[in-house]
Amino acid sequence: MPTYLAIDGFLAALFVVFSLGVIATRQMLGTLYLFMLNSLALTASAVLIGIALGSPHLFWVAAITFSTKVIAIPLVLRWSAGPQIYERREVEQVLTIPVAVLIAAVLALVAWIVSAPLVHAISDRPFAAINLPTGLVAIFFGAFTVAVRREAIAQLMGILIMESGAFFASISIVNDLSIITEVAAAVDLPVIALVIGLLIRNIHRVTGITRVGLLAELKEHR
């Protein structure tokens, strides 16, 4: 178990770094790649905990996470949004990157403080001490990404990071999710990504922009 915990701690560190990268990166395509790496870390953690605890349900979670978040959603977003959204596009945000990273560090500290009583309450779950605070950090990072990013795709990545953070925490607490829940998550997320991607593509084709702040200012002309 100490070996499994050490490896899971390393995966948790990668998960946080990739979540932070979505906040710090300047390129639109980079946010998508970092989300894929973030999902890979989530997949690896699910496999590791599944092996350590002998839980076949977590293997299903890992398989569905990999096929959905590492393969399906990036392909859907690349196709639905169109290549012009990603090529040479820099992500605009409200704050500068150094300030955003500093605030993210404060959010990470708050997440660890908030999660401490929760970890103590479920001390019988050996991986919760790692995955629960890490998942809460990712949720905070995802919400912060939505708040500071101005591009629609980057904001969508923030929402997906929040969902991955919730999953990263839950796999260490609940090890026997029903297959119905897993399949529902596998179907819902690609469909949501497809709908949002097509919407962004059509908006970009008509207006030439995908900045949320500017889109809010558009008015209908008769």
Token couple for 147 = 């708040």
Which residue would you say has higher pLDDT here, 166 or 194? 166
Q: How confident is the model at residue 16 (pLDDT cuts 50, 70, 90)?
A: very high
pLDDT of residue 222 exceeding 50, the answer is no
What's the pLDDT score for residue 201? Answer: 53
What's the pLDDT score for residue 82? Answer: 57
Distance of alpha carbon 122 from alpha carbon 126, whole angstroms: 9
**Per-residue pLDDT tens digits for 143-191:** 898 888 777 777 778 888 888 888 888 888 876 655 545 555 555 555 5
Where would I find the H helices in 171-218?
A: 179-207, 212-215
Question: What is the average per-residue pLDDT within 29-43?
Answer: 88
pLDDT of residue 123 exceeding 80, the answer is no
DSSP track, 135-156: HHHHHHHHHHHHHHB-BHHHHH
Q: Say how many domains are in the chain.
A: 1
| 222 falls within a domain | no
pTM of the model: 0.79
Which residue would you say has higher pLDDT here, 78 or 199? 78
The parent domain of residue 36 ranges over 2-215
Distance of alpha carbon 62 from alpha carbon 70, whole angstroms: 11
Of the given ranges (119-128, 139-148, 194-203, 212-221), which has the lowest mean pLDDT? 212-221
Of the given ranges (3-17, 125-139, 162-176), which has the lowest mean pLDDT? 162-176
| 221 falls within a domain | no
| 14 falls within a domain | yes
Token couple for 80 = 């639905």
What's the pLDDT score for residue 192? Answer: 58
**Per-residue pLDDT tens digits for 67-114:** 888 888 788 777 765 555 555 556 667 778 888 889 999 999 999 898
Distance of alpha carbon 131 from alpha carbon 5, whole angstroms: 10
Name the 3-class secondary structure at 27.
strand
What's the pLDDT score for residue 81? Answer: 58
